[in-house]
Chain A
Amino acid sequence: MTGLPTAPSEKRLGLVIDLDTCVGCHACAVNCKEWNTGGYHAPLTDERPYDTDPSGVWLNRIHTFEVGEGESGRLVHFPKSCLHCEDAPCVTVCPTGASYKRSEDGIVLVDEDMCIGCKLCSWACPYGAREYDQDAGVMKKCTLCIDRIYNENLDEIDRVPACVATCPASARHFGDLADPQSHVSRLVEARGGFDLMPEMETQPVNKYLPPRAKGGQAGGPGSDDKLMPAAGGFLAWLDRTLSD
C-alpha cells in the first residue's frame, strides 16, 4: 500500500467550481480531453469512436440532474473530476506506489510506469473520478494539468488547468487552497464553498460553490411588488410630465 505525505503540503492546489454559474456546456470536459490526450496521460484513448458504443477516457465529466420541486426546483450541472483529497483513499489503496499525492503541492497523480492496472484505486475513490484506459492498461486521472501549471514554455497567464482557461462562464477557478489569501480561498469563504460528500472523510481539496438564492437584488419570487397606476391615469401623468 502507498503512503500519503507525512505532513500536509505547504500548497494545496485545486479547483473551485461555481455551481451558480456553470451552464453545463461541456467546454471544460472537451478542452481537458483535448489538452490531456497529448499531455501527461497521453493518449486519452477512445474505443469504437464511430460505432454503437463509443467509450473514451475523460478526466472531467459533467453530470446534469434536477433537484427540488416547484419554485425551489432547479437543474444542476455538476462538473466532476479528481478532487485531490488530503486523505486520498485511491493512494493508500495502491499496491505499487503508482498512485501518489505530491508532497509539494498536494496534487494526486498516477505514475503510469508503476501502474499495473489493478483498478483498486477506482474502487476506492468515492467520487468515481478515476478513468481506466483499457487500451493502455493503466489508470488515468485529472492531473490539474501538471504539464501546464508549471510549464515554463507557456506564458504565465496560461499556467492554469485547461478547463479553467477555457470555461466560457468563468465557473472554474484554480489556486492554492492552503493560502487563505488566495483568490480561490476567498471565493470559498465568501460563497460558502463546500466539500463534496464530507462524510467520506477524504478531505477533498477541490471545493464547490453552491447556487445562490434565487431572486436577484429586487423582489424575487413570492414578492408582491407591483407598480401603482399613475394618478389620474396615464394620459394625465403624461400631461404633468410634459408640463414640467
Chain B
Amino acid sequence: MTVSNNAESELEPEVTVDGHRVDESPRVSDEVKFTTCYMCACRCGIKVHFKDGDVRYIEGNRDHPVNRGVLCAKGSAGIMHLKSPARLTKPLRRVGERGAGEFEEIEWEEALDLATAWLARARATNPHRLAFFTGRDQSQALTSWWAMQFGTPNYAAHGGFCSVNMAAAGLYTVGSAFWEFGEPDWEHTRYFMMFGVAEDHDSNPIKMGLSRLKERGVKFVSVNPVRTGYSAVADEWLGVTPGTDGLLVFALIHELINAGKVDVEYLRRYTNAPWLVVDDPGAADDGLFARDNEGRPLCWDGKTDGLCHALDPDVEPLLKGARPFADGRTARPVFELIAERYLDAQYAPDAVASRIGVSAATIRRIAAELAHAAFSEEVIIEQPWTDWAGRKHERMIGRPVSMHGMRGISAHSNGFHTCRAIHLLQIILGSIDTPGGWRFKPPYPKSLDSLPQPSGHPEDVSPNSPLPGPHLGFPRKPDDLLIDDDGTPQRIDKAFSWEAPLAAHGMMHTVISNAWRGDPYPIDTLFMYMANMAWNSAMNTAETIQMLTEKEGATDEYKIPRIIYSDAFYSEMVAYADLVLPDTTYLERWDCISLLDRPISDADSANDAIRHPVVTPQRDVRPFQDVLLDLGARLGLPGMVDEQGNPQYPGGYRDYMINHERRPGVGMLSGWRGANGIMSGTGPPNPDQLQRYIDNQGFWQGEIPTEARYFKNVNTAYLDYAYENSFVATRSPIILQLYSEELQQFRLAARGHGPAQPPEKHRERIETYFDPLPFWYRPFEEALEVADRFQLHAVTQRPMAMYHSWGSQNAWLRQIHTSNRLYVPRILAQSLGIDDEDWVWVESRNGRIKTRVRLMDGVNPNTVWTWNAIGKRAGAWNLAEDSPESKEGFLLNHLIHELLPARESGYRYSNSDPVTGQAAWYDLRVRIEKVAEEEAGEAAPQFNPLGKLSGVDERPSILRIGADVTDSSDKRQGA
C-alpha cells in the first residue's frame, strides 16, 4: 500500500493550457505506516504518510473496521499533537512547593529509583497506601494487571466519572452495554433513538451510522436538552429537561404495554419475563426467583399447567398469574410485575409530560412510531438459525428499532436505572440483537455470573503480596462488597462499599478528596496516568487544588504525601506532582487495543489492533507502559521478574504484548497466534505476531460466522463460536434480565436478611435504590433543600473537534474553539436582561463562576450549557498566560461538589449514582445573574499562572507546517 515515489513527479510541473504551472501528481509521501489513532476514544485506523522523514499527512484507513477511511477533526490534527510545545521532555522532580511549577530535570535512572523506593515502602508496609488511578488510559489490561501484582486494592481508570452507569446497567441487564459492547444495526434499523449523547462516544461510527440512516430515509429521534451536533440533524429533537429521560422511557413503555405492543414470543424465550418471583413480604427470599432444588429459576408451563425450570427447552411459559411454588407460597412472573409497575397512572404520558418538557401527544406519537417500526416493518434476513432450546428458525426476523445512549444518561444520579429502562424498552419491543435492532459486539454478551468479582477484601491485601483477582468486577450479592465487618469501605474511593455497591469502574472522582480527608484511611502515594485531576477531570476544582497542596498540621508533609504523575504534556496536574514521568505520544509507542480491555469489535467481527512507534521521539521520554513494566521489575512484582529476579519483559510493552498470557493461549492480541501465526483467538505466543499486525495495517479482524450474527445471546452458533474463542466460559444462553435479582439481594440485606447487612446509616438508601425493576427518581441535587434557589440545570456537551483537555492546546483545534461560552435559552436571557456576549455569574450550592454568554433557541428552557474542557489554567499547556482559554474559557467543574450535603447523621455521600458510584456531573443546578458592569471582562475564578516548565520548548510564534515541501520564501520573493 506504500505510495510509490513516482520519478515523473519530480520533474517540473507541466505548463497547463492556461499558462500556469500546476503539479497535479506530486509525490505524496516516501512511506506510509498504518497504526491506530488516539486523539479520542474511538481508536480509528490511520495511515500516516511520511515525506523527507517527517509526518506529512494522517488520514483514515479505508480498510479499518472502526472508521472505514474517514477521520474526524481530532484525528486529522494529530500532527499538531505530535509537534505540541506542551510536550514534556525529561523526567522532573519537584523542587518548589506543589503548584508552583518548579522542577528540576533528572535522569530516568534517578526517577525510576525514586519511584521504586516510594512504591516499595508502601508495598512492604501496607499496599493500601498506594492509590494507582489512570485516566483516559487505553492500556487498562496492563495497568490493572500491574496494580493486581502490586497488591493494592486501589486501582481504577476513569470509567467511574465517565460511563459506568451505561456499562453496569447494560451488563446487569443484557450482558453488554452501549458503545463499546454494542451498536445499532445501522444497515437495517427503521427507527433510531439516541439518548443524551453529548456529541461523544463513539464519534466516527455514529456519524457514519447517521449518514446511513439518512441515505435510507430512516427516522432519527434525538433526546437531548441541547440541539447541537447530532441533535441538529435529527428528524425530531426532544429537548428534555436533564435527568428526566427515564420518565420519558417509562411513559413509552406504559403506552406500548397498554396497547399490547410487546413481543411476547421474544420475552418468553429470550428474557426472564416468565421467571417466577417469590411473593412473600418479609421472607429472606422475597423478590428472589423461585428456584428448583438444583437452583434453577422456575416458570409456569402453560402446556402442562405446572412448574417447570425456565431453561427447559420444551417449556411454554406463561407471563402472568400468581402461582403456588412451595409450602403454599406464591410467586409471580416478572412480566406481570413489569406490567403492573409501568401501567400505573404515574407513568402515563399526561402525568409526566410537563416534568420532561415534551408534550403528552408527542410521547404518545413516539410510542406509536416505535410500535409501527417494530411490528409493521419487520426486517427479515434469509438466514436459518437455531436458538438455545434447539428450535430451528428458517429466517432471522428483526424488530428494527435501535437505541443508543451515553453521557446524558450516565452522568446523573439516576443514570443506572434510566439506562436499564432504555434496555427494558428495547427488550419489550423484541429488538435486541435482532436484524435492525441494537446489536452485540464480541466478546459481549457475557452472562453476569461469568464476570469477575472485585478483589480487595480485607483478607485479599497483605504486604508484598499480589491481589488474588482483579480490582474491578460485578458484585451479585452483599458478600461480594469490599468492606470489613463493620461495613467500612476497603478502597480509597469507597467503590464496592455500601455507598456504591456496583461501582464496576471505581470512583476516581472521590480519590483525592477521600485521601486528603483520610477517609476511609490516609494514603502514602498517589500514582496517576493521563488524568488531569487538578483541573477539568476533577469536581470542585479549586478545593481539589487545595487538597493537593495542604500540609499535615504544622509539619512539612503534604496530606497526600507523594504524587507520581505520568503525562505526555504540561497539563495542570503536572504542577502538583512530586515526580513527573514524561510519556510519549500515540505515534511514538507500542500499544494494543485488546479484547481483554476495551474492544473495538463490531457486531459482525471481533477486532483488535496495535499501535507501533511510527515516529522516534527526540526527547528524553518513555512510553508509560514500558515504564510501568520497568517499575514492576524493579519492585520484583510477580509476573514481572523471572526466577532469577531479572525482568520478565526486558523488551518492554512490545515484549509483553507478544509473550504475556493471562491463561495458557490467551494473550493481549488475538490475531496470528501460535507457531507460524496460524491460530486466531487463542494459541501460544508467536514471536512474529506484531510484524503480522503491521503487515495487516495494524489490526486483526475475526469475522463471526454468518449464522451467528444475530440473536447472539441465544443463538447456538454464536454461543459455540464465543465459547471456542474464550469469550464466554460456557455455551449457556445469556437470558436478558429485565428483573435484576442481584439488586434484590442488596435490598434484602437492607431489610435485615443475610450475613452482610448495610450499617444503619446506609440501610434506607440501599432499600430505595436497589429496586429490581428500573424506576425514576429526581436527580439528587434537584431534590436538595437548596434546590429552590437554583432553578436551572447546567450541563456540558463535548465539542466534536476536541477530546479532553488535549484538544484545546492543539494549534489547529484551538483555532476552532479558543474559548467557551455559557449558552442560555433566549427567552430566559431576555427575561433577565442578558444579551449575547454579556458576562454573568453562575452560582451553585458550591460557589460561583463568571462566564460569558451566548443566547440560543435550541436548548431546554430550564437548562444552560457549555462546551467541556476548553477552559484552561493560565500558563498550563505552554499557552500564553493571557490566552482566551484562561481569560474567557471556564469550567463548570468549580460548581460541582464531589460530596452531597451532610445528612442528618452527618454523613456525606459522594455526588454519585447510589448504585454504581458514577459521578453525577449533570445533576448540577445553578442560577445566573448579570454581572455588574465593572466586573465584566474576565472569567472567574482565576488562579496564579503556572510558570514555564523546565525543559519544554519555546512556543513558536509562527508555524509553516509543510513549507519544506514548497518553499514559501520563493513566493515572497516573487511577490
Contact = CB atoms under 8 A, between A and B. Distances in A.
A46 B616 CA distance: 25
A242 B813 contact: no
Contacts of B369: 218-219, 225
Interface in A37-84: 37-40, 42-56, 58, 64, 66, 69, 73-77
Contacts of A219: 365, 368-369
Given A20-B233, A26-B800, A75-B228, A49 B956 contact: yes
Q: Interface on chain A toward B: helix, strand, loop, or mixed SS?
A: loop
Contact of B72 (A25, A42, A100, A109): A25
B883 A169 contact: no
A228 interface: yes
A26, A40, A138 — most chain B CB neighbours (10 Å): A26
Interface stretch (A121-129, A147-155, A175-183, A194-202): A147-155
B694 interface: no
Contact of A102 (B3, B8, B18, B218): B18
Contacts of A52: 880, 882-884
Contacts of A223: 365
B962 A25 contact: no
A139 B24 CA distance: 20
A76 B219 CA distance: 19
Contacts, number: 331
A16 to B, nearest CB: 14
B18 A214 contact: no
B555 interface: no
B62 A157 contact: yes
Contacts of B4: 153
A168 B261 contact: no
A7 interface: no
Interface in B204-219: 204, 207-208, 210-211, 214-215, 217-219
B232 A46 contact: no
A24 interface: yes
Q: Which of A29, A46, A100, A149 has the most chain B CB atoms inside 10 A of its CB?
A: A46
B57 interface: yes
A119 to B, nearest CB: 12
A40 B972 CA distance: 15
A214 B236 contact: yes
A169 B220 CA distance: 14
A114 to B, nearest CB: 8
A217 B369 CA distance: 9
Interface string B338-349: 010001000000
Contacts of A103: 17-18
Interface in B18-76: 18, 20-28, 51, 56-60, 62, 67, 69-76
B92 interface: no
Contacts of A38: 51, 56-57, 961-962, 965
The residue in A100, A150, A169, A171 that gathers the most chain B C-beta atoms within 10 A of its C-beta is A169
B373 A218 contact: yes
Interface in B291-330: 302, 318-320
A152 B14 CA distance: 14
A189 B411 CA distance: 44
A154 B28 contact: yes
A46 B811 CA distance: 8
Interface in B799-832: 800-801, 809, 811-816, 818
A241 to B, nearest CB: 5
B971 A27 contact: no
B856 A216 contact: no
B829 to A, nearest CB: 14
A166 to B, nearest CB: 5
Contacts of A20: 214, 233
Contact of A216 (B20, B220, B811, B959): B220
A5 B199 CA distance: 45
Interface in A118-166: 135-138, 146-147, 149-154, 157, 162, 165-166
Contact of B343 (A54, A116, A234): A234
Interface string B934-975: 000000000000000000000111111111011010011011
A241 B264 contact: yes
B510 interface: no
Contacts of B858: 66, 73-75
A192 interface: no
Nearest to B336: A235
A242 B76 CA distance: 56
B227 interface: yes
Contacts of B818: 54
B260 A216 contact: no
Interface string A185-222: 00000000000000000000000000110111111110
A111 to B, nearest CB: 5
Taking residues whose C-beta sits less than 8 angstroms from the other chain, chain B's interface range is: 35 or more
B362 interface: yes
B255 A226 contact: yes
A109 to B, nearest CB: 7
Contact of B975 (A43, A117, A153, A168): A117
Contacts of A168: 67, 70-72, 203-204, 207-208, 211
Interface string A225-241: 11111100011011101
Given A166-B76, A215-B235, A26 B801 contact: yes
A31 interface: yes
A22 interface: yes
B72 A69 contact: no
Given A34-B79, A169-B211, A51 B961 contact: no
B883 A34 contact: no
B848 interface: no
A24 B816 contact: no
B966 A42 contact: yes
B230 interface: yes
B232 A31 contact: no
B230 A146 contact: no
Contacts of A224: 361, 365
Contact of A229 (B51, B85, B259): B259
B957 A75 contact: no
Contact of B812 (A30, A35, A111, A241): A30
B975 A235 contact: no
B70 A23 contact: no
B264 A238 contact: yes
B264 A42 contact: no
A169 B255 contact: no
B320 A154 contact: no
Which 5 A-B pairs have CB atoms at the shortest separation, nearest pair first? A216-B219, A38-B962, A230-B260, A227-B259, A168-B207
Interface of B: 3-4, 6, 8-9, 16-18, 20-28, 51, 56-60, 62, 67, 69-77, 79, 85, 190-191, 199, 203-204, 207-208, 210-211, 214-215, 217-220, 227-233, 235-236, 255-261, 264, 302, 318-320, 339, 343, 361-362, 364-365, 367-369, 371-373, 800-801, 809, 811-816, 818, 856-858, 878-880, 882-884, 955-963, 965-966, 968, 971-972, 974-975
12 contacts: A20-B214, A26-B801, A27-B76, A38-B51, A76-B232, A113-B21, A114-B974, A168-B207, A171-B211, A211-B233, A226-B364, A230-B258
Given A46-B812, A238-B319, 8 more contacts: A20-B214, A34-B812, A73-B857, A74-B232, A153-B9, A168-B211, A225-B364, A239-B320
